[in-house]
Structure 1
């Protein structure tokens, strides 16, 4: 069988790629950094001079705090797209927001408790039948294999049918998360028994959102995984390199296709999921795909009153490590969701790629749902799966049976605004008492004839002195941030105008397919 090289593939959500500098040559605006290198740009036109009385509050020069001594916080903005559908991300006052389209289709996938590690370029690989647990192989596994090889770009990925190198060594190995290489990092981990429902949000390297996401992923509120997320394996860092938990804005929902009563599965109808009965956690994750980082939105569901969303394959090294626990070992082909109308609805998947993809033929192939889990591989060949090699084949994607509104926020400092002690005005000075200076006088005397004719006095009127001290119930530090590592975007690849969500072999290379 002839094989494709990655040069013959439209990368995941990108047709062609150009260096950032070349892509924007002649442009007046650098789209990879919309704040132009200054996330405090909103004060760039301000300069407190030595003879300005405001210097007592703000100091001399460009201000970096408010009159109440609260430090200014950086602002970021970015965007990403697939199929010319755009999502916009912002960071303001340590609140991350992501606004995109309503009712975006998701696919179901489920982690199998393993990590696929690829052989490093030029390194010595293991023999085909090597024992991955043998003591004599551990140094080679640790040094020569990795789950992500950023320096190798697309070539770091190997297709499922490229298991062996030219010299007969293993191009990749699958290690359970309890393998010695991970040094007990996942000891005591909850069984990975929940699916996650995902879809692509960005191009490879997400260059137009890198500044905002680099900041967000480095804040205290990032990489905090909830109980459902852990049961979906989202905390396995070798698979999910960066994670940000999201909260839906009030009118955003998950929606499940229950179909139109009495008609076939091509007659669709989505109903809102009742999140008070079907638990859900949402995340924006970075995960390498074809050895390139992308952003994906993912949702993890679990019903309070049934086990429809749970499964562990009763076979393999991962199962052997947890089989003494109570596990569900049969896939529910159509999991149920509680609906806001009070009913239970079975998820009905579609055989098409997605409801927002009416003509995949323009990309040279594809358009059908893969209808099985596992490595995306050489899709649109029918051998392709719906995601990654670390996922169960038998947990099928149920394409676009679930939709989600891309309308989320996240508190990056890890503290919610409903905390009564957060954002109090004494945070900047750091004391319970704050002295306020003002112009003294008798304030609040009524002068309107409606009141004076009737002799009505203002009960709130009082003599206000030149200084007053207010005592607060507590003192908490102001919202702060972690300075993120500096990005080097000069040589990053910037997607061209033609984008497609997930790789498609170009039509001009169809003749290379072996029928």
Structure 2
């Protein structure tokens, strides 16, 4: 059973999409697999007034363990592009995301700007308006925004639609140093590193929303590491929400190109080798970013060899570069060639991109969605028009995508409370009691007496045999609060059970 692909529908018709088939039988609400109850795992449990466990968990449906550790919500969901699925779950404040191995990534680099779109009905600025003129600040603040959630796809404007019919600016590009952002990025590191990304979800990610929205709302979310900041992932106007991920131990990044230059081999002889994480700093993220003014999920990776061999780049031009002043000194200002990665089996490999869209996309032409690598950065816009870029308008054109030169295994996790399980003080049993000393009550007696004939005949006694009293106290070295969570409001828009149209990775939207 198939539904129309969103990639083949006109932009203005997206709001009217209906499933082509009406399902006669009731189906599970795929947008809420917990049935509206993230604590469903205790839904068949009830402690009655006369039960002994009442002293531990109270009467009714239990909400804590016997040691008074609060239960934590469980969520699950999934997302897809091109009928390739990624599954997410949240349990014990750990998000797990499992998808496919060797997923292709594209390279992009932020240019230090934010594109802001004119709000519906707003007057906006004239064509030649000076964006740095204080006289225009009120209009910029009131009439433009980087994301217009109430306007859906119509809030996006193509690169060739900068001017309205009456000559007003439909969008403007502001450096992060602009007065509108009230100096919140005044001390920001130079945005000098590329990131490697790919689309993970449909627009609005409806089947993963509950799990991912919960994850984005927890203390461990929206914390960006040093490489991520140098890639601009903390610029909230571009990346609305981020969650740092860690790969499972057997997951890898893979780089293509080690055979290029060998006898009989050309750039179409592909061969990916594992990147050496011992010699490469790497950070991974699940990010929410507006694409055509709709929220999508993307996986993003940022790399830099520990040898510091020059992945950094700044375009030596424009308002953002000027705003950096001395902070730009020493950063390369010539457009980067294909990067060279340290390899796990020794040596290095220079990444070689492919002229195709991706190795998992054998026939995008079948549904009129291109199939070639854009081969330059910038606004995706009207792809498959050959003039289109590979990402967003806030990215350098000269930092090319190197399509599928880098692959990544979609096998990640994230501790949503921001603390690793390797912390010796996390999850201690006295957290529920809230005290360093905890009293334990038990049935007394002599425990550990050997009764096996083998030991009795030999006259062996158990050195651990002892009289256990009816109560004793353990003294813990420290006491910390139990792992907790930030409650999120239940969404009112994710209750429908009818399927949404399938999506294509970075679909092409017609004018």
Q: TM-score range by the shorter chain?
A: over 0.9
**Residue equivalent to 1:324:** 326
Assess, with a 3 A threshold, how the Cα gap between structure 1 residues 72 and 100 changes in structure 2: closer, same or farther: same
Report the Cα distance in structure 2 between the residues aligned to 1:256 and 1:31, rounded to whole angstroms.
36
Q: Is residue 10–residue 503 contact of structure 1 (8 Å, CA) maintained in 2?
A: no
Report the Cα distance in structure 2 between the residues aligned to 1:491 and 1:41, rounded to whole angstroms.
17
Report the Cα distance in structure 2 between the residues aligned to 1:203 and 1:88, rounded to whole angstroms.
13
Give the CA deviation at 1:364.
Answer: 1.3
Give the CA deviation at 1:332.
Answer: 2.1
Q: Is residue 29–residue 495 contact of structure 2 (8 Å, CA) maintained in 1?
A: no
Query: Counterparts of 1:25-64 in structure 2 under 5 Å?
Result: 26-64=25-63
User: For 1:219, what is the secondary structure of its paired residue?
Assistant: coil
Q: Is residue 115–residue 239 contact of structure 1 (8 Å, CA) maintained in 2?
A: yes
Assess, with a 3 A threshold, how the Cα gap between structure 1 residues 186 and 492 changes in structure 2: closer, same or farther: farther
Calculate the TM-score normalised by the size of structure 1.
Answer: 0.93
Q: Is residue 82–residue 200 contact of structure 1 (8 Å, CA) maintained in 2?
A: yes
**Residue equivalent to 1:73:** 72
| Stretch moving more, 316-325 or 107-116 | 316-325
Assess, with a 3 A threshold, how the Cα gap between structure 1 residues 463 and 23 changes in structure 2: closer, same or farther: farther
Give the CA deviation at 1:448.
Answer: 1.2
2:474 is aligned with 1:470: yes
User: For 1:140, what is the secondary structure of its paired residue?
Assistant: helix
2:259 is aligned with 1:292: no
Q: Is residue 11–residue 503 contact of structure 1 (8 Å, CA) maintained in 2?
A: no
Report the Cα distance in structure 1 between the residues aligned to 2:23 and 2:251, rounded to whole angstroms.
35
**Residue equivalent to 1:136:** 135
**Residue equivalent to 1:267:** 269
Give the CA deviation at 1:23.
Answer: 7.7
Assess, with a 3 A threshold, how the Cα gap between structure 1 residues 101 and 350 changes in structure 2: closer, same or farther: same
Taking only aligned residues, the RMSD between alpha carbons, in angstroms, comes to 2.1
**Residue equivalent to 1:4:** none
Give the CA deviation at 1:125.
Answer: 1.4
What CA deviation, in whole Å up to 9, does each residue of 1:384-428 have, x standing for no partner? 100000000000000000000000000000111011011011100
Assess, with a 3 A threshold, how the Cα gap between structure 1 residues 11 and 312 changes in structure 2: closer, same or farther: farther
2:406 is aligned with 1:407: no
2:186 is aligned with 1:187: yes
User: For 1:324, what is the secondary structure of its paired residue?
Assistant: helix
Match of 2:347 among 343, 350, 372: 343
Query: Counterparts of 1:293-312 in structure 2 under 5 Å?
Result: 293-312=295-314
Q: Is residue 31–residue 494 contact of structure 2 (8 Å, CA) maintained in 1?
A: no
What CA deviation, in whole Å up to 9, does each residue of 1:301-340 have, x standing for no partner? 1112234321110000000011422221112221011110
Report the Cα distance in structure 2 between the residues aligned to 1:214 and 1:438, rounded to whole angstroms.
43
**Residue equivalent to 1:447:** 451
Q: Is residue 109–residue 196 contact of structure 1 (8 Å, CA) maintained in 2?
A: yes
The count of aligned residue pairs is: 499
Assess, with a 3 A threshold, how the Cα gap between structure 1 residues 286 and 474 changes in structure 2: closer, same or farther: same
Q: Mind listing any 5+ residue stretches in structure 2 that lack a counterpart? A: 1-5
Report the Cα distance in structure 2 between the residues aligned to 1:298 and 1:77, rounded to whole angstroms.
21
User: For 1:256, what is the secondary structure of its paired residue?
Assistant: strand
